[in-house]
C-alpha cells in the first residue's frame, strides 16, 4: 500500500465533503431569503394615526367554542404610535395598553356585534 496516495485520496474526500457542506449552507440561506421575501410580500402594512378607531384581534379567545364567535373586539382608540409597529390603544373600560400593530385593523364604524348572526 502506498501511504502517500491513500493520504491524497482521503484529503480529496474530505475537501469534497466540505464543498457539499458549504453548498448545503448556501442553499439553505437562499431558501430562507426566498421564503422571507414571499412571506413579507403578503403581509399587510398598516399606517395608524392617533385618535383612529381600530379593532383588536384576540387569538386567545377560548371562552365560547365554535367558529361563529368573532375574535375581533373593540373598537379601541389609538393613543400613540411607536416605531417598529408598536401601538398604544385606549378603551373606555379597559384603560390604555401597548400591543403589536399587526393585531389591529381599521374600524370603519357602525354596530360591531361580538357574535355573528346564526339565522342568516
**pLDDT, averaged across the chain:** 83
Mean pLDDT of 20-28: 95
- For residue 86, what are the contacts with CB-CB under 8 A and spacing of at least 6? 98, 99, 100, 101
For 93, phi and psi rounded to 5 degrees? -105, -30
Q: Does the bond joining 75 to the residue before it have cis omega, within 30 degrees of 0?
A: yes
Look at residue 120 in the predicted model and tell me its pLDDT: 44
Whether this prediction's pTM lies above 0.85 is answered by no
Domain parsing of the chain, residue ranges: 1-43, 53-106
Look at residue 21 in the predicted model and tell me its pLDDT: 95
Mean pLDDT of 84-89: 89
Amino acid at each position: 500500500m502506498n501511504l502517500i496516495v491513500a493520504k491524497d485520496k482521503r484529503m480529496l474526500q474530505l475537501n469534497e465533503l466540505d464543498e457539499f457542506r458549504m453548498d448545503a449552507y448556501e442553499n439553505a440561506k437562499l431558501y430562507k431569503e426566498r421564503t422571507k421575501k414571499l412571506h413579507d410580500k403578503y403581509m399587510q402594512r398598516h399606517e395608524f394615526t392617533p385618535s383612529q378607531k381600530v379593532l383588536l384581534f384576540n387569538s386567545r379567545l377560548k371562552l365560547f367554542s365554535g367558529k361563529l364567535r368573532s375574535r375581533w373586539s373593540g373598537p379601541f382608540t389609538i393613543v400613540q404610535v411607536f416605531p417598529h409597529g408598536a401601538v398604544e390603544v385606549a378603551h373606555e373600560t379597559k384603560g390604555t395598553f401597548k400591543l403589536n400593530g399587526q393585531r389591529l385593523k381599521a374600524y370603519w364604524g357602525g354596530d360591531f356585534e361580538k357574535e355573528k348572526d346564526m339565522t342568516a
